[in-house]
Amino acid sequence: MTFDLPSFLGGTGAYRPYMEEQNFRLSSNDAIVIEAPDSNLPSNGTNHVRSSLSEANITVQHREGLPFDLASLDLAEYSTVFPSPKSVTFTGYKVGGGTVSHTVVTDGVIDGTGPLNDFQTFAFPASFTNLSKVVANMYLFRLDNIAVVVDGQETPPPPPPAPPLIYDVTWDAPIHTVGQVTAVGGAYSPTTINFGTPTVRQQLGTMAGPALEFKGTGYQQLQFKAKQYARAYRVEFDAYLDLPVEFSVLFDGYAPIQRVDFKEDGTIGLFQSGIGSISSIGSYPQRETMQVAIDVDMIGKTWAIFVNGERKHLGPFGTADGDLLTIRLHESGSTTGFAGLDNVRIFAYDPGTQAIPGPRIAASPEKLDFPQVTVGTGKTWLLYVRNGGGQNL
């Protein structure tokens, strides 16, 4: 596990309740935090895992519960501010009972992005076999390049969705389980849970399900990583709002937050720091399943918001460098009402390594497959065509 492309697609940031790479899950007392090289941090030129006080007891286990052997891993001191040698004890929990332990001590060599070797590789003894999990019983260190051997046959992961689709989340089995908190990681789950315990339910209101329930005394929030440097993004989802509840969609870039609010009074409002707010752009159907679509044009710097195919808003969208970092789905906390969510699909059109100007035609959906239509009858489908480029088309 290297926490870098291509095996780990999430990038830097905090992951709750766990992060997943190559069928293994890492968790801690709070989050798994992935950080990049920095002059004040240990560096080997790649991403690594941070263990601070809140991220103590980092735990490694197979996502399917298969036994595994721990061969080696790389460790470094926490930072140039805390450069002292670090003693870390790893406890391995054996399948069927019993434990083994191994303590390693770092050498205290750390110079950030300088020429020294900040990370050391530690091999583990032969007793670290047939394990159900391994726990690092300490904090204030950095971790990278975990080498494991799986004892058993893993279930192959599902193939990625076909571009331009980057997320396709339905909360169906086998990835998700009714009655449990949503799975995270990959293209068929949210990237992380920022707040709360969004839980999969068999049915929510008029939603057939399985669907995800946002309900609780505090914030409930999911996050999807974007950062595709796409010319345009599209977010689609089904929602059911059982009042009293407020539900929001937030778009985060290097510039101000752009937010769509589905409010308790049945109206839809906008908040755009640096641009302004609109108290109401229209209404939405309360206690009914609705289809929401939001098109974001990164070149033209506009966005369009649709509810059940009806355009509610077309206006400016502010970003600093022409990209989105994350997309968040948020419920403000309600003990009596709830928000139901299903069929989240996020598209990234023409992704790249940086924003590219120029004309671009885009249609959503990209193709229409009409079923058989009886003579004398018709079927109407909506097709949105737009120029997402920076020049006339």
C-alpha 304/C-alpha 193 separation (Å) is 26
Q: What is the pLDDT of residue 391?
A: 56
* pLDDT reported for residue 367: 54
Residue 309 reports pLDDT greater than 80: yes
Whether 348 has a pLDDT exceeding 70, the answer reads: yes
**Residue ranges per domain, the chain?**
13-150, 165-356
What are the pLDDT digits (tens) for 157-182?
Answer: 889 999 999 999 999 999 999 999 99
Rounded to whole angstroms, the Cα distance separating 159 from 162 reads 9
What CATH class is the domain 165-356?
A: mainly beta
| 378 pLDDT higher than 80 | no
Q: What is the rounded distance in angstroms from the CA atom of residue 92 to the CA atom of residue 60?
A: 10
| pLDDT score at 360 | 55
pLDDT (mean) for 212-239:
93
Give the distance from CA 360 to its chain's centroid: 28
The per-residue pLDDT for range 248-285, each reduced to its tens digit, is: 999 998 656 899 999 999 999 999 877 789 999 999 99
For the whole prediction, is pTM greater than 0.75?
yes
Overall average pLDDT of the 76-99 stretch: 95
Q: Which region among 6-10, 162-166, 345-349 has the lowest average model confidence (pLDDT)?
A: 6-10
Separation CA 381–CA 389 (nearest Å): 25
CA distance 241 to 290: 9
In the predicted structure, residue 364 carries a pLDDT above the cut 80? no
What is the arithmetic mean of pLDDT over 180-196?
A: 95
Please compute the mean of the pLDDT values over residues 209-237 and round it to a whole number. Answer: 93
Contact 363, 384 (CB under 8 A): yes
pLDDT tier for residue 388 given thresholds of 50, 70 and 90? very low
Query: 13-150 has which CATH code?
Result: 2.60.120.1360
318 pLDDT tier (thresholds 50, 70, 90): confident
From residue 216, give the alpha-carbon distance in Å to each of 20, 29, 71, 221, 290. 26, 21, 42, 11, 22
- What local confidence, expressed as pLDDT, does residue 28 receive? 96
Q: Tell whether the model's pLDDT for residue 357 goes beyond 60.
A: no
Least confident of 89-98, 231-240, 371-380: 371-380
Three-state SS at 215: strand
- Can you give the pLDDT at residue 374? 78
DSSP β-bridge partners for residue 340: 213, 240
Q: Tell me if 172 sits within 8 A of 354, measured CB to CB.
A: no
> Residue 206: its pLDDT value, please?
93
**Rounded CA separation 258/276 (Å):** 10
